[in-house]
Amino acid sequence: MESDYGVPRELSPLQKSRSIYHPDLPSCLQGTTVRVEFGDATTVADSAGAHAISQSFPHTYGQRLVHFLKATAKVHGAQVISDLPAMRVGVVFCGRQSPGGHNVVWGLHEALKIHNPKSILLGFLGGSEGLFAQRTLEITDNILSTYKNQGGYDLLGRTKDQIRTQEQVNAAMAACNALKLDGLVIIGGVTSNTDAAQLAETFAEAKCSTKVVGVPVTLNGDLKNQFVEANVGFDTICKVNSQLISNVCTDALSAEKYYYFIRLMGRKASHVALECTLQSHPNMVILAEEVAASNLTIFDLTKQICDAIQARAEQEKYHGVILLPEGLIESIPEVYALLQEIHSLLRRGVSVDKISKQLSPWASALFEFLPPFIRKQLLLYPESDDSAQLSQIEIEKLLAELVEAEMNRRQKEGSYKGKKFNAICHFFGYQARGSLPSKFDCDYAYVLGHICYHILATGLNGYMATVTNLKNPSNKWRCGAAPITAMLSIKHDGRAMTIGKPLVHPATVDLRGKVYELLRQNARKLLLDDIYRNPGPLQFDGPGVESRVVSLRVEDLDYMGRIKELNEYLDKVRSIVKPGCSQDVVKAALSAMSSVTSILSVMSSNGSSA
């Protein structure tokens, strides 16, 4: 099988035209010389966890932020990367394929060869399994030619992908040593980047000379924090799904007799569902985060949907489109409790057909109430991140059935007088994941690939490649690197299986954030007025090619920019208040700074962040 990886292949005319597209580099990475500026030492957002995290990551915690700047930028103390010794770097796809992943490999390869043509990039074949087994393919321009700007991970493949057990970590280290790697680049989402952080720490501890770099590539869009504005693949996934959702909306409006229940991929967090709602304006979306925050039961949800259907029926509308994130099932409190019981029995080796008898009376009652198809799906073995197999659980069918039963009941009882309710269910998952990546994802991934090189050339370990200011055109993007340890946190909310272990946690939709606010403002119009909007199929030419996802446009991200701006203010204060300045100036500065300091102390001790 290995022999099939990286083989040249027949491309369609559109694939061909995409394969010759070459993204621009931001000005800071252009040319053969790049300056590296070190910022402050990093901490974590959750100050309560800082101590525990620093204990677990003694070698890689508290490293400094890094900015990559144009060689001409005059910055005090910056180091210059120009011609450098040849490097040997390995790259591995971890976790679910995300459109754009190939371009990270391309960008990294290009940067390596620009700085020293003797540098070698080895791709691990078949994900982390290939890493453990030391199965590699040397990346060349020739091999890349039919994979540039193309979807999927089929250049190298991937497997189940975790690097977590002692055995796995040892195998990874053995591979890096045997192949004499200067760097190992891990392309993946929250789980893979947690693994990358752990690997970097272990390598440092063991004095292994391979440096580990993480790249934020996940269609879920949930690897978001102060340093990371967006993930490779999210833009494409949302655009492809929004196209399909819009098509279904048009269909609903033409036939006027169906309610479409559409489940979307995206794991625990509902970013994909939220973004698609803002792009295509379906009638309703139920975010997992809302359900968790309000402790809504499955019956509350059913009632909520039925009430919406009834409100539409009063306007003589008998069609509609309802989006459901796949993570919804785990956000419903009683279903989550049931899943926890099932998973713990499964882990104890109880066979599937005996589980229902060993459930607590309460969980058993819920289980028996559910239709057979969903029971079968709830009994699936949990995933490596301890969550249920979300892509296999048809929450859309469950809700459609419950809603139908409730609407029939209301009709019989006379409280609903409209036409019969008809549902059609869809799952939009695998049909978007392998898509040709959008221009944004092509550009972003390619630039991240270049940054990986600069991180390794600087000799950094345990960093993630970052690009900020993403909402602007790519020539204005800012490039940098942040220690992955600064993104770790420890969950205490009593629901995570992994209490006490520092992880890069998936960022959920912020119910106090601007993006959610935008949804709330429009929710009633979406529900009742059918203001469907069709962004159309992903275009690679013409207007709209440069469009960004709504969440990137609305959110006020630029954290790194603000940190830099703040530092400029601090520098300015220092330069104004030099010995010799007037007593009044010193007094004013002192008073102002003391006030700022006490405000910040209070805010920080109240604990974290958005």
The CA distance from 13 to 117, in Å, is 32
In the range 141-160, which residues lie near its own copies by CB under 8 A? 150-154, 157-159
What would the x/- binding string for its own copies be over residues 389 to 428, using CB under 8 A? -----------------------------------x-xxx
Q: Measured over all CA atoms, what is the biggest interatomic distance in the chain, rounded to whole angstroms?
A: 88
Q: How far apart are CB 111 and its own copies at their closest, in Å?
A: 24
Q: Give whichever of 440 and 532 is closer to its own copies, judged by the CB atom.
A: 532
- Judged by CB under 8 A, which of 253, 346, 350, 511 binds its own copies? 253
Strand runs labelled E in 96-242: 120-124, 136-138, 183-188, 211-216
Alpha helices in 434-509 (DSSP H): 439-457
The residues in 32-91 that bind its own copies, with binding defined as CB under 8 A, are none
Note whether 438 and 536 are within 8 A (CB). no
Site for its own copies in 279-318 (CB under 8 A): 315-317
Residue choice 9, 419, 420, 553 for contact with its own copies (CB under 8 A) = 9
Q: Does 540 bind its own copies (CB under 8 A)?
A: yes
Binder among 134, 209, 469, 547 for its own copies (CB under 8 A)? 547
What is the nearest approach in angstroms of its own copies to the Cβ of residue 521?
15
Which of 112-120, 249-257, 283-291, 472-480 is the region at the interface with its own copies (rule: CB under 8 A)? 249-257
Report the C-alpha gap between 325 and 287 in whole angstroms.
Answer: 7
Question: Hey, how many other C-beta atoms are within 10 angstroms of the C-beta on 96?
Answer: 22
Stretch that binds its own copies, among 60-68, 92-100, 172-180, 380-388 (CB under 8 A): 92-100
Interacting residue with its own copies among 431, 598, 601, 604 (CB under 8 A): 431
CB 62 within 8 A of CB 112: no
C-alpha 307/C-alpha 284 separation (Å) is 12
Q: How far is the CB of 379 from its own copies (least distance, A)?
A: 16
Site for its own copies contains 434 (CB under 8 A): yes
CB neighbour class for 336 (10 Å; exposed up to 12, middle 13-18, buried from 19):
middle
Residue among 256 and 300 whose Cβ is closer to its own copies: 256
Minimal distance in Å, beta carbon 519 to its own copies? 17
Task: Report in angstroms the alpha-carbon separations of 267 from 189, 320, 464, 548.
Answer: 11, 24, 22, 22
Q: Would you say 299 or 430 has its CB closer to its own copies?
A: 430
Q: Is position 533 an interface residue for its own copies (rule: CB under 8 A)?
A: yes
Q: Taking the CB of residue 259, how many other CB atoms lie within 10 A of it?
A: 25
Smallest separation (angstroms) from its own copies to the CB of 420: 13
Interacting positions 95-124 with its own copies (CB under 8 A): 96-97
Q: Could you say whether residue 435 binds its own copies (CB under 8 A)? A: yes
367 Cβ neighbours under 8 A, 6+ residues apart: 338, 356, 359, 375, 378
Report the C-alpha gap between 215 and 220 in whole angstroms.
Answer: 14
- Assess 135 for contact with its own copies (CB under 8 A): no
Nearer to its own copies, 117 or 543 (CB): 543
Between 67 and 239, whose beta carbon lies closer to its own copies? 239
Nearest by Cα to 507 from 277, 281, 193: 193
Collapsing DSSP states into helix, strand and coil, what is residue 563? helix
The strands making up 423-428's β-sheet, listed across from edge to edge, are: 284-285, 320-325, 259-264, 423-428
432 contacts its own copies (rule: CB under 8 A):
yes
In the bound complex, what is the minimum distance in angstroms from residue 191's beta carbon to its own copies?
A: 16
Q: 158 or 450, CB closer to its own copies?
A: 158
Q: Which is nearer to its own copies, 299 or 373 (CB)?
A: 373
> What count of Cα atoms within 13 Å lies in the side-chain half-sphere of residue 587?
3
Type and span of the H or E element at 480? strand 478-483
Radius of gyration (Cα) for the chain, nearest Å? Answer: 26
The smaller minimum CB distance to its own copies, of residues 7 and 576, is found at 7
Residues between 12 and 41 with contacts to its own copies, criterion CB under 8 A: 12-15, 17-18
Mapped onto helix, strand or coil, the DSSP state of residue 428 is strand
Which residues are paired to 188 by β-bridges?
216
Q: Which of 85, 544, 561, 607 binds its own copies (CB under 8 A)?
A: 544
Instruction: Map the footprint of its own copies across residues 503-522, applying CB under 8 A.
Output: none
Among 41, 293, 352, 531, binds its own copies (CB under 8 A): 531
Q: How far is the CB of 377 from its own copies (least distance, A)?
A: 13
